[in-house]
């Protein structure tokens, strides 16, 4: 081998060794990278979660007990991991009442896309380390007690789409840096302690749809840059300390804006007429500011608006007639302004109104009959107080069947209080003080079973205090002062408590409880002229009493004897007028199938019109070929002839005749219920033309209370106690005003009012009720009982609020509707209730028709709420949660297996009434100053 060849080989050897060394070094360098991409980073996630757990000492439901070494952290409760790697992408522990501070270690979860810790009890600051989460899209920390400032470095999280920090204790300013989050669609930081102004930089958020900063301490002007937010759907900056004028740039917002609320600030100047551009507004709240001038006439363009709040300003002039164009209005609040003139007659076009407040203005003239007549069937709140209205209170006030709040105080009204006021059976507050009413308090007021406050002070009323007032069990505030009442003061009911009644200024009153310190009432005693006459009177009275007692015994004997005979149709229904078969045949067009509205075991129900009265009715025709149909007919007749209650179906007439073929015919005619049965509202079929029907939470509470009142009446207040025996949604009918009426007494059982142990109280017609609703003891042959009705009511109540029938196919293997509700209470109510009842919460203003629902991936799904009107956004409000739990607990207490342990209907009505009272006063419905809720 030559020297040259040797050098070449040596060079090749060295070159090869270099290559091998480089390869070895490369492998050594690459090895740790591979390890870092799997184990160490996964371990980082696990350690970060454990650090997070360490700072949460309060875990009442032991949710974090699964966070241990027995399973992979991706399977821990509330943890979501990516599919292509084992990295944490989601942390969802909402609503478990977790208490503690938030660990900065969360910032190490670098793959995290959503954090949902809302509705807990976290305190302390939001860690700055959240700014490291560059993949984060949704940050939900609302409804906690977090303090400190909003981290400005959240602006680094450029993928953020939704920030929810409302209802905490955050301080400091809104970071200007948030204006760089170009993908942000929701910024909800209301109900905190934030100060400073609204950063002009927020006008750069071109993707922003929902902007809620209300309920803070923000100051300064509304920046003009807000007009650049072309994508806004709802804008709520109310309950702050903002000042200046409303910038005209607000009018540049997109026409898709449905909610604009700036109430309870210090905004001044006139209302810009240019707001007319926002033609799709559903909520417009300008209340409790310093606006002056008139209401722009072009407000008539807001034909979709449902809530218009202008109260608490300095507006003047007349209420514009264009109000009549706003036919979708359900809430109109004009109180505490300087309006003058009269109420425009065009308001009659707003027949969807539920809340109307015009108090504390300078309005005059008479109260239009149309305003408080049948034109407003849905009205539940009417406040015309502190004006200068004159004349009489129209008799049509009795047509307000659903009214709950009625205030005509401090006007110049005169004449007598209409007796029709007793028809307002839902009335909770009636304030007539400070007028010139005369005459007596109508005795019909004793019908106002829901009345809680009655104030008729400072009038010219006279006569005695009606005894019926002491029987109003919910009446807790009564003011009769400064009138001309005379006579004895009652001593029961509200009159027992001197702290809740006022009688001053009535010098002719006497009696009452001792604490009232009224003079004793004088009683005239007739002295006998002589002892002989006295003895003679005693003898005569004794003889009369003897004859009365003897005749009573004969009557009772005769009645018992006659009961053994077959019942007579004419003895049971002699108080009702009768119609002929021909009348009913023509009323239903020959019992046409087109008029068939329902059918059951013992017959069919038809819709018809009685020619004589031109009245729409429901006609129940018995199928006498069915075994037990005649007994069912007699049971219904016997029950209906002795009951009268607003929540029971009213029988109008009957027919016992023969048809055109000579066959026996029996039928009952009832009031027609325009809204059908409760069943079709709770379970609309997909192919039903009325599939859009649904009942709100308040409507369901009202229906539940209506039915409870009806059953309570049957059990405790009817002339003869009655067991319905077949209570279910299809036997609860709703009239045009959505008032519930219990129907179908074909299985009803009349209880004897005398103690007769030999009497058999078994049902006369087979099974007592319907499967799923019938009490379990009935299946073992027990007699019909009021406790059985209570069970049925409990099941009905659970069905109303859970949206599931007791016969749903999911109920098997020991699971039933009662157990399903019991398992879900109290912390899992969201998972078990009818989804329609779940409100979504915004700051202080309900948003609009179009809301967004976000899933646990990257997408936001548009949800059209349709004609439901205004809806709250977010998860269940704490108050709604409380009310639903309370209602479902009543359902459970009624449907417990042991009859003796079930609630009494008196207790049910009382509890439900208190729930409704709390619901109406909770701010979910009519709210206080600066709040607009639905």
Q: Which residues contact 14 (CB under 8 A, 6 or more apart)?
A: none
Q: What is the tens place of the pLDDT at every residue in 742-753? A: 988 777 777 754
Question: 681 and 773: one domain?
Answer: yes
Q: Is 476 contained in some domain? A: yes
**What 3-state DSSP class applies to 137?**
coil
Q: Is 88 contained in some domain? A: no
Q: Is 855 contained in some domain? A: no
**pLDDT score of 602:** 67
Q: Quick one: which H or E segment has residue 607?
A: strand 603-610
Distance CA 615, CA 596 (A): 17
Q: How many CA atoms lie within 13 A of 759 on its CB side?
A: 15
**pLDDT score of 801:** 94
Q: Which two tokens stand for residue 677?
A: 């049965």
Question: 584 and 470: one domain?
Answer: no
Q: Is 640 contained in some domain? A: yes
Question: 740 and 661: one domain?
Answer: no
Distance CA 611, CA 588 (A): 10
More confident residue, 742 or 923: 742
More confident residue, 560 or 774: 774
Question: 662 and 577: one domain?
Answer: yes
More confident residue, 526 or 814: 814
Distance CA 213, CA 199 (A): 12
Mean pLDDT of the chain: 81
pLDDT over threshold 50, residue 528 = no
Domain count, the chain: 3
The secondary structure of residue 648, as a DSSP letter, is: B
- Res. 287 pLDDT band, cuts 50 70 90: very high
Q: What is the tens place of the pLDDT at every residue in 395-419? A: 999 988 888 899 999 999 999 999 9
Distance CA 192, CA 748 (A): 57
Name beta bridge partners: 317: 339
From 487, 520, 553, give the residue that closes a domain. Answer: 520
Q: Is 238 contained in some domain? A: no
- Res. 634 pLDDT band, cuts 50 70 90: low
**pLDDT score of 541:** 74
> In CATH, what number is assigned to the domain containing residue 659?
3.30.200.20
- Res. 615 pLDDT band, cuts 50 70 90: confident
Residue ranges with strand state E in 165-227:
186-188, 210-212, 219-220
**Axis-axis angle for helices 905-920, 697-716 (nearest 10):** 150
Cβ pair 226, 250 in contact under 8 A: yes
Distance CA 322, CA 324 (A): 5
pLDDT over threshold 80, residue 635 = no
Least confident span in 27-41, 124-138, 161-175 = 27-41
Q: How many CA atoms lie within 13 A of 796 on its CB side?
A: 30
Distance CA 429, CA 434 (A): 16
Question: 781 and 690: one domain?
Answer: yes
- Res. 535 pLDDT band, cuts 50 70 90: low
Q: Is 685 contained in some domain? A: yes
Cβ pair 412, 432 in contact under 8 A: no
Which one is catalytic: 287, 583, 726, 834? Answer: 726
Question: 795 and 681: one domain?
Answer: yes
More confident residue, 4 or 445: 445
Q: Which two tokens stand for residue 767?
A: 């099974």
Distance CA 863, CA 928 (A): 30
Output the DSSP codes for 890-926. Answer: HHHHHS-SSGGGSPPHHHHHHHHHHHHHHHHTTTSSS
More confident residue, 107 or 601: 107
> In CATH, what number is assigned to the domain containing residue 779?
1.10.510.10
The secondary structure of residue 225, as a DSSP letter, is: G
Question: 432 and 466: one domain?
Answer: yes
Cβ pair 370, 346 in contact under 8 A: no
Domain of 627 in residue numbering reads as 569-672
What integer is the mean pLDDT of 632-658?
A: 73
From 655, 672, 689, give the residue that closes a domain. Answer: 672
Number of CB atoms found within 10 A of residue 693's CB: 14
The dihedral built from the CA positions of residue 889, 891, 894 and 896, taken in this order, carries a sign that is negative
Question: 508 and 397: one domain?
Answer: yes
Least confident span in 566-580, 762-776, 810-824 = 566-580
Question: 492 and 624: one domain?
Answer: no
Number of CB atoms found within 10 A of residue 813's CB: 4
Whether the bond into 678 is cis, omega within 30 of 0: no
From 614, 648, 672, give the residue that closes a domain. Answer: 672
- Residue 192 φ/ψ, nearest 5 degrees: -135, -160
Distance CA 501, CA 495 (A): 7
Q: Quick one: which H or E segment has residue 581?
A: helix 581-587
CB environment 826-860: b (16+ within 10 A), e (fewer): eeebbebbbeebbbbbbbbbbbbbbbbebeeeeeb
Question: 372 and 490: one domain?
Answer: yes
Reference 238, options 279, 187, 288, 202; nearest CA is 288
Question: 491 and 636: one domain?
Answer: no
- Res. 358 pLDDT band, cuts 50 70 90: very high
**Which 3-state string (H, E, C) describes 420-482?**
HHHHCCCCCEEECCCCEEEECCCHHHHHCCCCCEEECCCCEEEECCCHHHHHCCCCCEEECCC
Q: Which residues contact 318 (CB under 8 A, 6 or more apart)?
A: 339, 340, 341, 342, 344
Distance CA 620, CA 654 (A): 9
What integer is the mean pLDDT of 588-606?
A: 78
Cβ pair 846, 820 in contact under 8 A: no
> In CATH, what number is assigned to the domain containing residue 453?
3.80.10.10
Question: 699 and 812: one domain?
Answer: yes
Distance CA 544, CA 776 (A): 52
More confident residue, 373 or 222: 222
Q: Which two tokens stand for residue 812?
A: 């098997």
Cβ pair 247, 270 in contact under 8 A: no
Highest mean pLDDT of the ranges 51-60, 608-617, 841-850, 914-923: 51-60
**pLDDT score of 867:** 28
Q: Which two tokens stand for residue 22?
A: 């480089």
Has 782 been annotated as catalytic? no
Q: Is 621 contained in some domain? A: yes
Distance CA 167, CA 877 (A): 11
Q: What is the largest CA-CA distance in the chain?
A: 172
Distance CA 364, CA 782 (A): 65
Q: Is 464 contained in some domain? A: yes
Contacts 24+ apart (CB under 8 A), 828-833: 829/876, 829/881, 829/884, 829/885, 829/888, 830/95, 830/875, 830/876, 830/881, 832/802, 833/801, 833/802, 833/803, 833/884, 833/888
The CA-atom distances, in angstroms, between 355 and each of 184, 317, 701 are: 36, 22, 18
- Res. 600 pLDDT band, cuts 50 70 90: low
């Amino acid at each position: 081998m030559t020297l040259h060849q040797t050098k070449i080989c040596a060079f090749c050897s060295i070159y090869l060794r270099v290559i091998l060394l480089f390869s070895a070094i490369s492998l050594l360098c690459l090895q740790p990278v591979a390890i870092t991409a799997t184990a160490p980073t996964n371990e980082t996630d696990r350690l970060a979660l454990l650090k997070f757990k360490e700072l949460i000492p309060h875990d009442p439901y032991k949710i974090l007990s699964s966070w241990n070494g027995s399973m992979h952290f991706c399977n821990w409760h509330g943890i979501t991991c990516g599919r292509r790697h084992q990295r944490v992408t989601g942390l969802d522990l909402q609503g478990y009442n977790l208490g503690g501070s938030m660990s900065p270690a969360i910032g190490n979860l670098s793959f995290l896309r959503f954090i949902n810790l809302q509705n807990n009890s976290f305190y302390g600051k939001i860690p700055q380390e959240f700014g490291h989460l560059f993949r984060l899209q949704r940050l939900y920390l609302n409804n906690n007690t977090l303090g400190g400032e909003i981290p400005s470095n959240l602006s680094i999280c450029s993928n953020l789409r939704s920030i929810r920090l409302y209802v905490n204790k955050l301080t400091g300013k809104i970071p200007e840096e948030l204006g760089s989050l170009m993908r942000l669609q929701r910024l909800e930081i209301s109900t905190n302690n934030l100060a400073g102004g609204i950063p002009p930089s927020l006008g750069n958020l071109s993707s922003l749809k929902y902007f809620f900063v209300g309920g803070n301490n923000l100051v300064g002007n509304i920046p003009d840059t807000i007009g650049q937010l072309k994508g806004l759907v709802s804008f709520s900056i109310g309950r702050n300390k903002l000042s200046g004028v409303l910038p005209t740039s607000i009018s540049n917002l997109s026409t898709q804006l449905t909610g604009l609320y700036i109430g309870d600030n210090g905004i001044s100047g006139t209302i810009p007429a240019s707001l007319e551009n926002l033609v799709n507004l559903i909520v417009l709240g300008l209340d409790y500011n310093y606006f002056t001038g008139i209401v722009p006439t072009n407000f008539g363009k807001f034909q979709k608006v449902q809530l218009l709040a202008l109260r608490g300003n300095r507006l003047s002039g007349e209420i514009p007639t264009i109000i009549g164009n706003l036919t979708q209005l359900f809430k109109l609040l004009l109180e505490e302004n300087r309006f003058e003139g009269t109420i425009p007659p065009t308001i009659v076009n707003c027949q969807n109104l539920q809340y109307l407040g015009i108090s504390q203005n300078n309005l005059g003239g008479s109260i239009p009959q149309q305003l408080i007549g049948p034109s407003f069937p849905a009205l539940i709140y009417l406040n015309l107080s502190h004006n200068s209205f004159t004349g009489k209170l129209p008799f049509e006030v009795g047509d307000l069947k659903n009214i709950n709040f009625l205030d005509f105080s401090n006007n110049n009204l005169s004449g007598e209080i209409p007796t029709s006021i007793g028809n307002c059976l839902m009335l909770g507050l009636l304030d007539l003080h400070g007028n010139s009413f005369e005459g007596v308090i109508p005795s019909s007021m004793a019908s106002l079973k829901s009345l809680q406050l009655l104030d008729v002070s400072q009038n010219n009323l006279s006569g005695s205090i009606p005894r019926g007032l002491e029987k109003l069990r919910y009446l807790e505030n009564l003011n009769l002062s400064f009138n001309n009442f005379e006579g004895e003061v009652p001593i029961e009911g509200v009159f027992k408590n001197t702290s809740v009644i006022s009688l001053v200024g009535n010098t002719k009153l006497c009696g009452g409880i001792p604490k009232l310190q009224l003079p004793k009432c004088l009683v005239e005693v007739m002295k006998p002229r002589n002892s002989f006459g006295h003895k003679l009177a005693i003898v005569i009275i004794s003889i009369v009493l003897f004859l009365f007692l003897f005749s009573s015994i004969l009557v009772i004997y005769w009645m018992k004897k006659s009961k053994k005979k077959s019942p007579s149709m004419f003895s049971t229904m002699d108080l009702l007028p009768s119609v002929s078969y021909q009348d009913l045949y023509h009323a239903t067009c020959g019992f046409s199938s087109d008029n068939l509205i329902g059918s059951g075991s013992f017959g069919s129900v038809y819709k018809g019109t009685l020619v004589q009265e031109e009245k729409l009715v429901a006609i129940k025709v018995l199928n006498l070929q069915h075994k037990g149909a005649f007994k069912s007919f007699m049971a219904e007749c016997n029950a209906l002839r002795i009951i009268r209650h607003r929540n029971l179906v009213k029988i109008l007439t009957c027919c016992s005749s023969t048809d055109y073929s000579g066959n026996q015919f029996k039928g009952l005619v009832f009031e027609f219920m325009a809204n059908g049965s409760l069943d079709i509202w709770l379970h609309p079929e997909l192919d039903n033309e009325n599939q859009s029907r649904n009942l709100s939470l308040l409507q369901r509470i009202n229906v539940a209370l209506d039915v409870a009142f009806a059953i309570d009446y049957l059990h405790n207040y009817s002339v003869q106690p009655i067991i319905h025996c077949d209570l279910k949604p299809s036997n609860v009918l709703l009239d045009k005003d959505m008032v519930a009426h219990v129907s179908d007494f074909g299985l009803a059982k009349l209880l004897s009012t005398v103690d007769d142990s030999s009497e058999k109280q078994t049902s006369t017609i087979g099974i007592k009720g319907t499967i799923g609703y019938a009490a379990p003891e009935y299946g073992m042959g027990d007699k019909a009982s009021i406790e059985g009705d209570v069970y049925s009511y409990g099941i009905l109540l659970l069905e109303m609020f859970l949206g599931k029938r007791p016969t749903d196919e999911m109920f098997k293997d020991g699971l039933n509707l009662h157990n399903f509700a019991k398992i879900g209470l109290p912390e899992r109510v969201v998972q078990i209730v009818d989804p329609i009842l779940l409100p979504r919460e915004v700051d202080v203003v309900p948003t609009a028709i179009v809301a967004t629902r976000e899933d646990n991936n990257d997408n936001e799904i548009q949800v059209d709420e349709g004609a439901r009107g205004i809806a709250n956004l977010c998860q269940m409000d704490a108050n709604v949660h409380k009310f639903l739990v309370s209602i479902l607990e009543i359902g459970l207490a009624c449907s417990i297996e042991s009859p003796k342990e079930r609630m009494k209907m008196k207790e049910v009505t009382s509890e439900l009434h208190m729930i409704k009272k709390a619901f109406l006063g909770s701010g979910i419905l009519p709210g206080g100053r600066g709040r607009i809720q639905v």
